[in-house]
Amino acid sequence: MSATLETTGLAAGTWNIDPVHSEVGFVVRHVMVSKVKGVFSKFEGAITVDEDPLKSKVEATIDASSIDTREAQRDAHLRSSDFFDVETHPEIRFVSTSAARAGDDFKVTGDLTIHGVTRPVDLALELNGVGPDPWGGLRAGFSATTEISRADFGIVFNIPLDGGGVVVGDKIKIYLEIEAVLAS
C-alpha cells in the first residue's frame, strides 16, 4: 500500500455509492431574498480508488426527474423544457478527469453534463472517514461542494421582478453527502 493511500485509510477498489445513506442536493436564490433547497432522490455511481488516490476515478448519474424541492408544482416546472427538460435530457452525469490534494482535503475535477451540455467543474472533496459496517462491509464517507452557473448549461428561463432582479438565481450551490461501500 502506498504512503499516499495509507494517509487516507481508503482501500483500493470499487466503492459503490449507497443512495439510501447519501444525498445529492442544491441551493439556489429565490426572488432575490431567500434560498430554496432541493435534492435528487435517484442517483447511482461508483468511485474507483487507485493505489494512488490521485489517480482514482468517479462516475455518477442522477435521474433528473427525481428532483424534489418539497413543492410539487415547482418540481413539475423544473422538469419541464424551461429548466431540466427531462423528456429530452433524463440524466445528469459526472465523470472525473483528475484529482489533486487541497490541504488536508482533495479537489476533484470532472465533466458535469446537465441539460445536454458538458462543462468542467471542480468539487471540493472531504474524506470524512472509512470504517466497517455492521454487515461485514467497509464504508467510506465523503462530502463535496461546488458552485455552477445554470446559464453555462443552457438553463436560462427566468421571470423578471418589478423591483429589479429575477425569480431564480443563476448560481447553484451543489452539495454531496456520499456514503460508499467497497465492492466485494
Strands 91-102 and 105-114: antiparallel
Question: What amino acid occupies position 8?
Answer: T
Q: What is the pLDDT of residues 155-175, one digit of tens each?
A: 999 999 998 889 999 999 999
3-182 in CATH: which number?
Answer: 2.40.128.110
Quick check: 7 pLDDT over 60? no
Taking CA 14 as the corner, what is the angle to CA 174 and CA 64, rounded to the nearest 5 degrees? 35
Is the pTM value of this prediction over 0.85? yes
Domain map of the chain by residue range? 3-182
Predicted confidence (pLDDT) per residue in 120-158, tens digit: 999 999 999 999 999 999 999 999 999 999 999 999 999
What is the C-alpha to C-alpha distance for residues 18 and 16, in angstroms, rounded to an integer? 6
The one-letter amino acid at 2: S
63-109 pLDDT, tens digit each: 999 999 999 999 999 999 999 999 999 999 999 999 999 998 999 99
Which amino acid is present at 50?
A: D
**Strand duo 67-68 + 117-132: pairing:** unpaired
The residue whose grid cell reads 485509510 is: 9
Round the CA-based radius of gyration of the chain to a whole number and report it: 18
